[in-house]
Amino acid sequence: MGAKAKKAMMKKLKKGSSQLSTSNRKNEVADFLPLEGGPARRLPDPEEFVENTATVLYIGRIPHGFYENEMEGFFKQFGTIKKLRIARNKKTGKSKHFGFIEFESPQVAKIVADCMHNYLMFEHMLQVHLIPTERVHPKLWHGVNRRYKPLNWAQIEQKKHNKTRTVEEHKKLVKGILKRDQNRRKRIEAAGIEYECPQVVGSIQPTPKKIRFDEE
């Protein structure tokens, strides 16, 4: 094939590609015909007009030890944080391993959702999802400024142990102690161990008979 034939073939290829592109454009613009007349227009993609306004993120599978301060220090590298909270047990105060975070900018929230979803942290795959604005619960941020104060379980148990008891409550307590001591003695005897268990202090002794000296 000579040089002239190659040039002619290249011109035909370019002409065919240009015709194909123009036909595709015609098909695209033929989607919309204005009533006033004029050139046809292509219908816009609906996704182009969907603007992201969500700023609240759901964060699930939060590992142990990754609490409010740690979460704030980690996520503030993306942008300004407005609110943050971790769901906790009302009785014990322990984390339920999921929480919510609100950013000031919707663009930042979208970036965090894309980057941090399925992010491996302390052997946990974080689950990060955007929450639409209309689905945010009105009481989601109720009490968000209250920080968790750990419970002093030693003090709670101490008060429970040292509380004043009635006579009936004390008898019930001693009865349980004696029952457990008796079961322990039986297990020791069944094992063939010769051991003399010490007497439980505070056990209920049968009241002795009153002796009247005036009796003959």
| Chain segment 92-137, per-residue pLDDT in tens | 888 999 999 999 999 999 999 999 999 999 999 999 999 999 999 9
Within 10 angstroms of residue 7's Cβ, the number of other Cβ atoms is 10
Between CA 32 and CA 39 the distance in angstroms is 9
Instruction: Tell me which of 34 and 150 has the higher pLDDT.
Output: 150
pLDDT of residue 45: 59
Instruction: Tell me which of 85 and 212 has the higher pLDDT.
Output: 85
What's the CATH fold of domain 56-135? Alpha-Beta Plaits (3.30.70)
What is the DSSP annotation of 36-57? T-SS-BPPPPHHHH------EE
What contacts 165, CB < 8 A, 6 or more positions away?
173
pLDDT of residue 86: 93
Provide the pLDDT confidence category of residue 214 given band limits of 50, 70 and 90: low
Mean pLDDT value across the chain:
80
pLDDT of residue 198: 81
Q: Average pLDDT of 78-91?
A: 91
Cβ–Cβ under 8 Å, residues 80 and 72: no
Instruction: Tell me which of 209 and 92 has the higher pLDDT.
Output: 92
Provide the pLDDT confidence category of residue 215 given band limits of 50, 70 and 90: low
Between CA 52 and CA 40 the distance in angstroms is 30
Cβ–Cβ under 8 Å, residues 204 and 171: yes
Q: Which residue has the tokens 């007009």?
A: 49
The full set of domain ranges for the chain reads 56-135, 154-190
pLDDT of residue 66: 93
Instruction: Tell me which of 143 and 121 has the higher pLDDT.
Output: 121
Between CA 14 and CA 6 the distance in angstroms is 12
Task: Give the pLDDT confidence of 19-78 residue by residue, as tens digits.
Answer: 545 544 444 445 555 555 556 656 555 554 457 789 999 999 999 999 999 999 999 999
pTM: 0.51
Instruction: Tell me which of 79 and 23 has the higher pLDDT.
Output: 79
Cβ–Cβ under 8 Å, residues 160 and 154: no
